[in-house]
Amino acid sequence: MQQAPRQIVTSFRPIPLDVPEGMMPNEFFNSAENLNDLVHNNGLLVNPENLLMYRKALGHSNEFDTSIIYNTSQTILNPLGRPVRRTQVPLNVKHVWNRMNQIMIEYMLETYPDPAEHLVLAGEASLDATWPLTSPGVPSIRMLHNHFIVFPVKTLQDAELADSDNPNLTDGGQHSLFQQHMKKTYRDFFDRALDLEILKPVPTSESQLKLTGYPQGLPCWEIQGGVEALGKPQFWKEYDYILMGFIDFYRTFFTQVSTRNAPMPKDVYFPEHVEAELLFNNNFLKTAKVVREQCVTDAKYANLIRWQPAFKQLIYRNDEGKLIVTISQNSIGNAITELLGVVVNRTPDAEAYEKAEPALISKLLEVRARLIEADLGHGIATDYWDA
């Protein structure tokens, strides 16, 4: 079977929401009014930490697909002032967030035990205020949320091949700025800055999915100990370290792009390594110079740059059943599934969606019950399920 990214079609029930006249859709989706609708029509569970589990109305997969969002829409009305990554979440909220993630992933792996039958993934994408709200590709809900998704492997095998030049795919590997120009510098920084016990770097041959050939060129780490390691606080510390290292690299690079010979950004996580590995690295600074000069002469190119840290961080199961962590810059705003070579075309088709809905909802209610039992929230009633 040909190794290539796949393009699947996922049906959804059209959402009966009217965007007020004069507003762009992605402006409305960031409003407290829309988030309130999300709770009442798709909400499954909520807790005092404002973590909300909900059914994805516009999902990636009708096999299993849900999200947990840090819903600050009622407490922080400014959409650009809300927490958008794990490093901005209060410690007590992050503790609950990590436990919810652990239970969700454990359920997915238990329900779908065979990697030859199902692709299992969980992760988050940066929703930083790095573009104007009205720009194409800007996330529709500007708050931190995780995705929990399962794709039947047969669906992927039978799907059309995706165009390898699809702009959403080129962000994940050989076309990436970091991977194309600074691959060794990027990986060396992770290796030297991060003190890891549970996460072990793995080569591309172990991290790539044989079906799609993705992820492409990204640093990847195996979770030693598998799913049991997700129940250890040390794992989540190391998961944060990877994000922190990425943020330091990203901020330092684009600070140099913006301003020649700029000082080290404030509040970096690994200042000694930023100085030694980046600010004295000629290849790193040479690449910043190339990008800076193109920004000066190419307005369209400059407008596409996300100057603040934009990322996708992912836990997924590889072909051998091992759990892998990876992280990628998110320069286009593409979906997290595309990091694994899966392009999803969402199509309004209520009849097709309703055929899959009962089995999907049944699983979401099962995992909700586990979260409630673990004192991680209480159920929400909607027109489709009770509390």
Per-residue pLDDT tens digits of the chain, which is 387 residues long: 899 999 999 999 887 777 888 877 766 776 777 777 778 889 999 999 999 999 998 889 999 999 999 988 888 887 778 888 888 999 999 999 999 999 999 999 999 999 999 999 999 887 665 555 555 555 556 778 899 999 999 999 999 999 877 777 765 444 567 877 888 999 999 999 999 999 999 999 999 999 999 998 889 999 999 999 999 999 999 999 999 999 999 999 999 999 999 999 999 999 999 999 999 999 999 999 999 999 999 988 887 777 888 888 999 999 999 999 999 887 554 678 988 999 999 999 999 999 999 999 999 999 999 999 999 999 999 988 999
User: pLDDT at position 325, please?
Assistant: 98
Tracing tokens 């702009």 back to the chain, one arrives at: 167
**To 10 degrees, what angle do helices 282-297 and 233-258 make?**
60
User: pLDDT at position 310, please?
Assistant: 80
User: pLDDT at position 140, please?
Assistant: 54
pLDDT digits (tens, 9 = 90+) for 28-51: 776 777 777 778 889 999 999 999
User: pLDDT at position 128, please?
Assistant: 61
d(CA 319, CA 208) in angstroms, rounded, equals: 8
User: pLDDT at position 383, please?
Assistant: 87
Q: Which two tokens stand for residue 203?
A: 């080569």
With CA atoms as reference, report the closest residue to 124 among 83, 96, 161.
83
Helix (H) / strand (E) element for 32: namely: helix 32-42
* Residue 59: exposure state from Cβ atoms within 10 A (0-12, 13-18, ≥19): buried
User: pLDDT at position 174, please?
Assistant: 44
User: pLDDT at position 172, please?
Assistant: 45
User: pLDDT at position 144, please?
Assistant: 83
In this structure, how many other beta carbons lie within 10 angstroms of the beta carbon of residue 242?
Answer: 20
Write the single-letter amino acid at 144: L
DSSP three-state, residue 245: helix
Per-residue b/e over 266-301, b at no fewer than 16 CB within 10 Å?
Answer: eebbbeebbeebbbebeebeebbeebbeebeeeeee
User: pLDDT at position 19, please?
Assistant: 82
Q: Are 240 and 156 in contact (CB under 8 A)?
A: no
Q: Are 11 and 345 in contact (CB under 8 A)?
A: no
**To 10 degrees, what angle do helices 177-193 and 233-258 make?**
130
User: pLDDT at position 367, please?
Assistant: 98
DSSP three-state, residue 72: coil
